[in-house]
Structure 1
Amino acid sequence: MPSPFRHTDPPDPASAAGPVRAVYTQLARDFGIARASTFVVLSSAPGIMASAWALMRESLIAGDGGRTGKELAALGVSEANRCPFCVDAHRMLLHATGDHALAEKVARGEPPADEWQARVLAWGRATRTPGAPELVPYPFAAAHAPAYIGTALAFHFINRVVSALLTERLLPGNVQRFRAVRSLGGRSLAGTVRRHPVPGAGLTLLDGAGLTVLDHAGPGPGWARTTTVGPAYAALRAAAGEGEGLLDAADRTLVRETLGAWDGAHPPLAWDGLPGRGRPGARLALLAALAPYRITDEDVAAWRTPDRTDACLVRLVAYGAFAAVDRIEGALPVRAAKETS
């Protein structure tokens, strides 16, 4: 069977120990997929893996608000980021919620018939674009904002990692493109998806061996209020931020200034601001942030040296991915949004 991984060869999950094994255990229990490739690909960097899982778990899975709405928000994010793998996954997970008609409607590219669902999907898509009119007011209850915003930001990160380091195939042969497979796959996850686990378990992984960087992550941003989403978000920021050490000062400045001026658009093929392979670290970080699907073998080879391991590449991609998340989070009009439902 062809490997789903690009540019890295992650450790075999069967040999996992410590915090990585603990993530796989929670994945099996709370997500229904013990060895989800979206997290296997991060396993050479345990701090990033554990904090990315914690953010997804505490927002999408254990956060306030119904799972169907949060799956629609995550689908909208994944569509905006042009991540076929994640788009297919969320279409299947909509089947797992039990709303099969909705799952098939969005799979055909049609808007949901329900106005509220359509607004949530549009909100998810709009989170990529600073100032988009669909961002306010919230299409969900203000009390659910920490979970919805956390879900959106989690998938802005995950989409970028997936597009950079996985193939587009969710299942071998892309069989998830068939309605019967989508429905069957969703039904197999229905029992897990329809449970509502207690918040906080994801945070227990952040004190594991090798995760000392997360000790001072803090409570998280104000929009997360006092929910467990906040510490999870802060932990991912801290873990991904360590990747900046792989760049020199000039490259870090270029990444920061480029993201500061970014308007949410996908870069053109003739991207004047993208450095050449003579600055391979900055090139990879910016591609991971804004167009991860355009990372090539040649880009990675230009950066690789004997001391730059798979774990280093994961850290660099995570740094670029979170640079985009940070820009998106900072532009969200969280104070202007009002409760609408």
Structure 2
Amino acid sequence: MLSASSFGNSKEVKAAKIIKNANKVEDAFTSRGGMEGWTRVSYIIDKDGTTKDIVVFDYSGKDRYVTKATKLVKNLQYSPALINDKPVTSAQILFVKHTYSEAGHSEGSVTPAFAKEYQAIIDALTSPSANMPSIKISIDELVEDHTKNLNEHALAAWLKSIYYYKNEDFLEYMRQSQITVDLYEYLPIAILAKSTVNLFQSQLYYGNFKGASETLARMGSVDGLNLSQQTHQQFADALKASKATESSNVTKGQLSSLGAWSQAYEFSTFKVDVSQGSVDSVELRCNDYQQKYVEGWENQIDFPAQTSDCILLIRGDAGSTFDILEITS
């Protein structure tokens, strides 16, 4: 999540970069014929380039991937972030894809059993008389019984995004759209195109402008999307217009099933307003500055002067929803 940027008027920031990966290629999993999954991890990169304070805040549902992701990040060595060539601590968010061999690519394909159940759920979702509780059960069974590789995880996330949209659970719809897009190389191009637009629009709606900017950049870089310059400009204009609205100082979020949420963040002064559930802590993870708040976040948190490339980590009860409100006066 870090990028080279200006730090104040005279300070130059250089992002941390991986210089060594000590993770070894592992043998294929044997449980249930081999399984793949994904995790989303937030962590600190110290001044010496080692990683610490590793938090897996979202995952594909198998606890072993929490352990594997933590181990993977511990085995990464970085050249630290620099400010005027001086090493500083920094923060990172990483989407980890766990493949059969951990070699970085999936050897899986959609099985006939998955394809059959997937199509049945698609048909049910597009039916005028869709029975949403029954469809939810079918999706859960599909994930538990037949989703074993990243191709299937990508399609299952796509199914879930449709379900949650129709069920008007739009925060979960945005999450599933994000998972779908993050697994872009395992998707048919038509589904990827729809998912990317869905994600972009939901990010605008919920005030995640940093994420929307990243999604827009991805639209222009993924082979096969063939986004025209005119279309790209239309999306860029939509992002600019959303930032200019009165509601642009509100970002909405929801804690994952692991009870956490993390995202790159730009507001300088803000508070967290919990709309449902409970939040236990709010943590700032910035270049050369980290601070965890277990109280006071509902009133006001101030970014210190001259921080950059900040990430928020919020923890509490799974499923809790909240608003991050920028304080402008």
TM-score (norm. length: structure 1):
0.29
Looking at both structures, which has the greater relative contact order when contacts are Cα pairs under 8 Å and sequence separation is at least 6?
A: 1
**Which structure has the bigger radius of gyration?**
2
TM-score (norm. length: structure 2):
0.29
Greater helix proportion: 1
